[in-house]
Each structure stands twice: as structure tokens, then as C-alpha cells.
Chain A
Amino acid sequence: MSAINTVPELLRAQASRIPEQPFVRWRGESVSYGEFDARTDALAAGLADLGVRPGDVVSVMLPNCLEFLEAWWGILKAGAVFGPINPAFTAPEAAYVVGHSGAVAVVTDARGAGTLAGAGGKPELARLRHLISVEDEGDLTLESLAGRSGRVPADRRGPEDLATLMYTSGTTGKPKGAMLTHGNLLANAAMAAELLPLVAGERVGMILPLFHVNAQIVTCVVPMMIGCEVAMWERFSASGFWQTVAELQPVAVSAVPTILAAVLHTANAPTGPTSLRYIVCGAAPLSRELLEAFESRFDIRILEGYGLTESTCVSSLNPYYGVRKPGSIGLPVRGQQMKILAPNGNPVADGELGEIVAKGPNVMAGYLHNEDATAKTIRDGWLHTGDVGYVDSDGYFFIVDRAKDMIIRGGENIYPREIEEVLYTHPGVLECAVIGVPDEIRGEEVLAVLAPKPDAELDEEELKAWAAERLAAFKVPRRFEIRPELPKTPTGKISKPPLREEFGRWTPAGANQPA
């Protein structure tokens, strides 16, 4: 088999080898590898007809649907760069990404078109030429592009060329465009594929949104690499989860902790074993409580993993075969190095806390048009993740917290994650977020915001006592806020910035910075 140098070459190779095998299932219909290959060839030819050149960015602003996949792979085959945008973005947010990336076209639906119309005419959108609609009617539809019957563009890309441009929303400042190459994607998908037990023909469930790398890599490129089928969830609902699993029969899905929590605490659990063998979980800290509760209740292995957009997707994973350590993010993937650095840049002694850094073919090419941020993030080939953790004597990594989430109270470093872990052990707590709030005496004080489980009641004094029994005094939250639910990011992670805004935020000069 000849070498595969670009992501679309992977699709072509599989389509040529197993054209009849199903590749994607959407709304009850199945599309084979061969059909998907032909369809994306046609779209690529149509894009070339619009003047979309190799290296041009094309944005995709859609919820999960078959058209999203078609557009993504059509864009790659045209040699262009795939630039996903959260469909829930407001006009200014979307305009920023489209403008900064210099996108020449956007593939979207009526809702997205409406959002962009609100941003129309801005000078920074001067490069934008085409709005391609996935609806049936419109000036320029995806369907009409596929019908233009041009020749498929010649393959002009190599492993160093960009495949994806992912904007990562930081807690401060404008989002940065992480540049992922064809080589990045192929390397990381291979790294993940060898750790996930999957056989050609099996079905993987896609729940997470395609505008994040997790869905793209774990539930699309990896299954394609193996010859699996991707069953796309139309919309996640906790109450409908098991029914959808029964319908689609996936052997694995990829999820985030809030999905596991929601499923765990909803009724209508299956009475017997399901098709699911394992669930890959990442993107946010997974409490031991939740992991153990889910595994023991449903007899499904949870493989907690870790990675960033900047490391393409997966940097470490708990193994399916082998020891899984609850609370750990597992072992580094093969082919990538990972270690813990002290603030002065030296490796730490065993077991000590420091910043997690990673180096390998899955590390991004850099941030678009932002040499400063790139230089701060990638030094000597090492990606500085901004996450604080340690390695145990078996080589398993543990994350303590994000450096920027750290609370400094009277000179003491407090890691909210540690406190959250403790609060999750309380039987009434469903969700919790611990943040620092301004305090005149100590600079920052610890506040816990909590959402109770259905039918549970939480009492502030009782919670304080619970925490005091398990944590050093200075770590016990001084205030507790009870809410029906906590704000979330689009991927379902609990989102702290809105809480910080609500309760005020104080950033002292000279606060500890990550390494």
C-alpha cells in the first residue's frame, strides 16, 4: 500500500479498498465509503469551480449532520483548509473567525446565514466570496455545487500543509486559530486508533459537535482509518440516550463528563448489557465519583483521556487493555513524548507538580497570524499545555488543574479541581464549580457553585462541614451558591467564565504564571 500523505488520501484509499462498506449513518440512511468518496469528489470539483484554491480557508458553520461531513471532506479534497465555526456563535463571534481566518467561503444553513448577514459588509470579511447553503433553496447550494460536474482537483497538498484551522476560545482575549496539518491529523488518528479496540465494520457513535477536534478525530478519522461506520446522533438527549444506543448499536461513543453525569442520573437505564463496550471521555476533568458510578452501574469501560486542540486531539489515554486509573488521564500516546516541567523549565522530581508539556508529530503547526502566542506555547518543539499535574511511578499522568484556574488565597495555591472532587463525593451534588472571588483580606476567597441532583436538597452549612472533614481548612469554600444548573460550554463542559463574571474576578499583578 502506498504511503498516505494527506487526509483525503485516506478516504480515497479506503473507498478503493472497501467501497461497499458503510461509512456513515444519518437519519436511518447509510452512505458507503464509495458513495461518500464520489460525493466529496463532486463537491471538491464544485469548490474549485468557485475559485477555491489549495490553501484557501473554507468555514463550516453547521450543527452535526451528513452535510457537515460532506462539506469537510470536500474542502480537504479541494486542497483547502477546513475552518469549523460553532453554529451558536453570535454575529460578532462568527465574523471574527471568518475575518481573521481569511475564509473565502462559508458552508452553512439558514440560521448561520442569518447570523452572518448580521455581520455583513464588514471590511474584515472582504475576502469572503461565497455563502454555500445546505438548504434545498438558495443562490448557491451544496447540492448545486456537487452537480457542476467538473474534474476533481489535482491533489496538491502534502503532510506539512494545513488541513484544519480550529479557533480555541481562551478565557481572555480573542480566540486563536490553531493550525493543524494533514500530518498532524494522520499521526494523531493513528496514535488513537492503536489504543481503541475497533474492528472494520463496527459502528462508532458520534455525539459530540464536529466543530471540536474530539468528534473529528475520535469519531470520524479514527473509524475511517480502521474501516468502521460512524453513526451520527442527531441531537443528544439524556432521556433518549439508551434508546438511541439500542437503535444504532454502537460499540463505542466519545463523550464529555457532563454527558456521563446526565445519563447516569436519568431514568430508563437498560436492563441488560448494551452494544457499548467503552466510552472515551475527555475535554474536562472527570471526577472519580462519576467514573466509578457510571462504570459499575452500566458495566461499560470509561477510557478517560486528555488532549488539546493544540495537540490535535489525544495526548494521553487510559488503556482499554491494561490498568485504568480513575482520576488519571492515562498514559501518553505512543509516538508522542509527555513530561512535567517545573516553573523554571526543568523536569520535576517524580510525583511533583508542574506543567504538562508534550512533543510529537501531533503538535500543531502554530497559531495563525500570532507568532507571539505560538512562541509562548511551543518552545523547542514542546507544547506547553497550561495544565498542572504530576506523573505517578507507573507513568500515569494526573491533572490537578489548569494553571489559570488556580486560586491564590493568602499566598496559598489552591486547585479548584481538588475541592470539586471532594464536593462530588457528596450524595446530593450533581454539578459543581469552584472559583476564586475577590476578597479584601486574602486577595481571593474560595466560592463553590453547586447544582443538586434531582430530588436532592443542598444546605450550605452541611456542605461546609462535609468539605471541612475532607480538606485542609484553607481550602474549604467560604461561600456556597446553590443553582438549579451550571453554565456550560457548547461541548457540555461546565463553564467557569460566566460564574467569574457574575461573582467578580480579581487578577493581582505578579500572580503565579504557568511555566
Chain B
Amino acid sequence: MSQNLAEKLLLSAAHHPEHVAVQLEADRMTYAELDQASGRVAGFLHSRGIEPGDRIGLMLPNVPEFAPVYYGILRAGAVVVPMNILLKEREVAFYLSDPEAELVLAWHEFDAAAQAGANVAGAECWVVSPQGFVEMLAGAELRAQPADRDGSDTAVILYTSGTTGKPKGAQLTHANLASNVEALLQLFSLVPDDLILGALPLFHAFGQTCTLNTAIASASTFVPVPRFNVERVLYTIECDRITVFAGVPTMFAALLHDPHRDQFDVSTLRLCISGGAAMPGEILRGFEEAFGCIILEGYGLSETSPVASFSRPDRERKVGSIGLPIEGVEMRLVDDSRQGVPQGEVGEIAIRGHNVMSGYWHRPEATAEAIDADGWFYTGDIARVDEDGYFFIVDRKKELIIRGGYNIYPREIEEVLYEHPAVAEAAVIGLPHSELGEEVGAAVSLKPGCEASQSELQAFVKERVAAYKYPRHIWFLDELPKGATGKILKREVKAPAGPTGSAKPAP
């Protein structure tokens, strides 16, 4: 049997045809309907001359149409290139020309950049709107059989946002995605009666795999959230009786801190999934208590499908840990020469297993740099592992601050800042310093109605970590800059102009 990921949809539709696959308010699509719709998308693509292996841009927000389009592309044997709906023309042109995509399907509310970028890249642009989608499908033939694909064939190309240089396209195969989904199904114990709230953008690996693909594979109901806002999520959890919610830590923080959340009945929630960034222990503890459910934290990168490790519901969950490697995946820590580090020491995480990408699209050097001959993928994340095998992220290599010769990991300082009751968000960055090389700075946003001064926070941190680590400069913002997934974007955090250098450090 074909190893096309789309087979999972057919299987679910065969067993639960009348069960709701995707719902958004009054729009409901059963598994039978989703099966049909993705079959017609495949037919539509075929009529545009798309062949197995062709790359197709998918630029849709979290709308019900995402599912049939995604599975339709896979069904046609083509490759999905998911794209952030907020990409500008120049970026769209890159995302389409780098993989030599034939066609991009773009959502009608953001199609201006898509049309313009597609023009530049020489690709076709099809605009998708709720009404237009219905018409598009009505005119298309139904392709009942998914294209025959081998597990090693590319299913999705995910461009990872690099902080330097152009993004690189991580190629995820049908087998990569299927194995990731299977491992998660076991972890989450999803059943058809589950309703999974997808607030994470589906154009990122985490949302795609952890919400949409696990929902389809388990024949449960996927409820997309087109645009995250706290009240809409609380409303949906109550009105649609959501059982599983997946988000990034900033979403959990926002939900926890909303002054009106007590007005909503969230008792149907049984499980939350967090990933994409580090979850501060305070938020984890606070959310679990307030919402009465457990949060499992996962870790991984686009290049690893994305899940590499997860905390487990059946074993001790350690606060601040990204858990244990999932079934079939190995993780180890290495030093700068890629040798294993002794137990108890920090090192870079290397991952090997069925989840590692086949390589970067048309970037053999970058691929060879990232994945060694033994199949280990080097993540650039620094971690330590305890005696029980639990991994704890310390930081990304790039986010290391080196101050007067001492290594300072921003994550550690942020963690401490989060323990202060007035702090809502914190980002610790290195500031250039003429004598020390780098100085530690922190951008902080406070909880509504709370007050704290720089000296108060500095004293707080100094009580808890070695003196050289505390942030010499703290500045306060209404909120910290975030990316599309809600992760705090450190590279957007800038210190306000002011004296640095050999001035006496704050006491």
C-alpha cells in the first residue's frame, strides 16, 4: 500500500464517515466530506498539470479550507510548501522560486502579496475564499486514489526562519510525518470524540503535526482558530467543548492572565500541548491549576518533523524539561567538536531517528553541515540531561551571552524573572559592551496593575543566581515583540539608547 500520508485520511473516512473532521462555528465538514473535498482538490491540481513531486505553495490561515487543500496536495502526490500568510511580496517570491513551485494557493484576505510574489517567481496564483473554494471544487473531478508515494518521498518542505541568511527548506518525507503523528497519537491518547483546538498556525510544523495531522489520523474533530485572541479561545473551548488545546507558551500566559477567564467554563479541557519555545515553570504551574488539565511540553524543530521529545502523561513531568525522546528517536548531547559530553554537563542536542528530515532543498552543504554521516542532526540547542534521561534546554547556541569570559544563558535569567510576581514576559539579550564584550540586558513587560522597578528586579535576580548574571539594564515595555507563532522574538528586542561601556555597573 502507498505510504502517502493522505492514506490516513482515507482510513479515518472509511471508519468514521459521518464524524465531524473540521468545524468552525456553523461550517462543518465530516470525514466523508473532507475525503471528497481533498479528492477534488487533487483533481483540480491534476487539471492544472500538477504531477507527483511538484511543489505547491499553501498560503492559508487556520481556516476549514486548509485541511482539504493540504490533504488534496498530498493526495495528488505533490509537495506542500506551507507559507506564512503575512509574507511580503519579496518573501513570497523566494518561497516559490527556491523550490521552483508551480502554483500557490492563497487566502483571499492576503492575496495581494501572493499574486505579486507569484508573478515574480513565475508561478500561478489561485485565490481561495470560502465561496470560491466551493465553486473550485464543484468544477473539479474527484481523484479517488491518492498518488502512490514511497515513505522516502518528500511530502512537505518547511522553510525554517534563520536569523542570518536566507531561509532553508527542510524536506519532510511521508514517513517522517507519519511516524511523528503515530508517536503523538500514543502520547495524547486521542479518540474520535476529542475536539482539538488549533490555535497554532498550520503553516508551521508544530501546528500541522500536533493538531491537524494527529486529528485526522485519529478521526477526531479539528477546530481551527483563524486568529488567536484570548476571548475567542475561551469562548470556543466552552461553546465547542474542546478537549485538547495546543499553543505556544505566550498563549498559555495570555489565557492565564486574562482577568475575565473565570466567566468561561473550560472544564472539558483534558490536555494541553505546548511547544515552539520554552514554557516558564510559573506559567505551567499556574495554568494547570487554573484550568484543571495537564500540559505536555514538546520539543523539536522543523527539521525533525517537528517532534523529537515530549513530556509524558504516564511519567513524572519535570518543570522546565522538554521531556524524553519520543518512540524511535534518539537524542544526545555533544560538545563543539561533536563529541559526547560527560553526564551532567551541558552540550548541543543531536537527534537521530525517523523524524529527521531528508535534507535541505538544494542545499547539500547546509545539509551536510546539519546532518552527519551517522544520521545525527545537530540542532544548535544547548541542553543538559538529568539521571532520569530528562532533557532541559539551557539555550540556543546563538543566544549565549559571553560577559567578561563567563557564559550566561539568557533562558536561565528569564526563568528567574518569571518567578517575580509582577513579571508577565521577559526576554534577556546580550548588549554590546566595550570592556566586557557583552552585557546582560532584559526587556520586561509587567502584569496589568503591577509595578516593579529595575532595582527591585535586579535584587530579585541577584538573590537567586550568581552575581555576574543579573541584567545590568532592564527596560519596561507594554508587551514584547512576537512572531507569527507567538514566540517572543529576541532579535526584535532592542535596548533603548543609553550609556553602555565602562560606566560603573548598577549596584
Report which A residues bind B (CB closer than 8 A).
45, 48-54, 104, 127, 129, 149-156
Contacts and interface: CB of A to CB of B under 8 A. Distances in A.
B267 to A, nearest CB: 15
A364 to B, nearest CB: 26
B385 to A, nearest CB: 42
Contacts, number: 44
A51 B26 contact: no
A49 B25 CA distance: 11
A127 B263 contact: yes
Nearest to A51: B231
18 contacts: A45-B25, A48-B25, A49-B231, A49-B232, A51-B230, A51-B231, A51-B260, A53-B238, A54-B239, A127-B263, A129-B231, A151-B24, A151-B26, A152-B26, A153-B25, A153-B26, A154-B25, A154-B26
B263 A104 contact: yes
A150 B226 contact: yes
A51 B234 CA distance: 7
A156 B239 contact: yes
A253 B503 CA distance: 80
B406 interface: no
B232 A51 contact: yes
A151 B25 contact: yes
A152 B25 CA distance: 6
Most chain B Cβ neighbours within 10 Å, of A150, A151, A156: A151
Contacts of A127: 260, 263
Nearest to B230: A51
B229 A49 contact: yes
A156 B235 CA distance: 13
A153 B264 CA distance: 17
B109 interface: yes
Contacts of A104: 263
A156 B26 CA distance: 9
Given A51-B232, A104-B263, A150 B239 contact: no
10 smallest CB-CB distances across A and B, nearest first, come from: A51-B231, A151-B25, A51-B235, A154-B26, A154-B25, A151-B24, A153-B25, A49-B232, A129-B260, A53-B235
Contacts of A150: 25, 226, 232
B56 to A, nearest CB: 25
B492 interface: no
Contacts of A153: 25-26
B135 interface: no
A130 to B, nearest CB: 9
B25 to A, nearest CB: 4
A104 B231 CA distance: 12
Nearest to B109: A149
A145 B214 CA distance: 33
Interface in B6-27: 24-27
A149 B130 CA distance: 11
Contacts of A51: 230-232, 234-235, 260, 264
Interface in B246-260: 260
Given A48-B232, A129-B260, A149-B109, A53 B25 contact: no
A415 B230 CA distance: 58
Nearest to A130: B231
Nearest to A52: B235
Interface in B218-272: 226-227, 229-232, 234-235, 238-239, 260, 263-264
A150 B24 CA distance: 9
A155 B24 CA distance: 12
Give the interface residue-count category, chain B: 10 to 19
Residue in A48, A51, A52, A154 whose Cβ sees the most chain B Cβ within 10 Å: A51
Contacts of B263: 104, 127
Nearest to B23: A154
A151 B27 contact: yes
B162 to A, nearest CB: 32
Contacts of A52: 235
Contacts of B26: 151-155
Given A104-B263, A155-B26, A53 B226 contact: no
A152 B130 CA distance: 12
A129 B260 CA distance: 8
Nearest to A56: B263
B495 to A, nearest CB: 30
A54 B229 CA distance: 18
A331 B232 CA distance: 49
Nearest to A128: B260
Interface in B46-62: none
Nearest to B233: A51
Contacts of B231: 49-51, 129
Contacts of A154: 25-26
B239 A53 contact: yes
A372 B235 CA distance: 33
B334 to A, nearest CB: 47
Interface in B191-232: 226-227, 229-232
Given A51-B264, A53-B235, A151-B27, 17 more contacts: A45-B25, A49-B227, A49-B229, A50-B231, A51-B260, A53-B239, A127-B260, A129-B231, A129-B260, A150-B226, A151-B25, A151-B26, A152-B25, A153-B26, A154-B25, A154-B26, A155-B26
Max count, chain B CB within 10 A of own CB: residue among A45, A53, A153, A155: A53
A127 B109 CA distance: 34
A48 B236 CA distance: 9
B29 to A, nearest CB: 12
Contacts of A50: 231-232
Contacts of A152: 25-26
A48 B235 contact: yes
Contacts of A149: 109
A154 B231 CA distance: 17
Contacts of A45: 25
Nearest to A50: B231
B71 to A, nearest CB: 20
A154 B28 CA distance: 10
A415 to B, nearest CB: 48
A104 B263 CA distance: 10
Contacts of A129: 231, 260
Contacts of B238: 53
Contacts of B239: 53-54, 156
Contacts of A48: 25, 232, 235
Contacts of B24: 151
Contacts of B226: 150
A154 B24 CA distance: 8
Nearest to B238: A53
Contacts of A54: 239
Nearest to B239: A53
A99 to B, nearest CB: 14
Interface in B360-414: none
Contacts of B234: 51
Contacts of A151: 24-27
B505 to A, nearest CB: 42
A104 B264 CA distance: 12
Contacts of B109: 149
Nearest to B25: A151
Interface string B23-41: 0111100000000000000
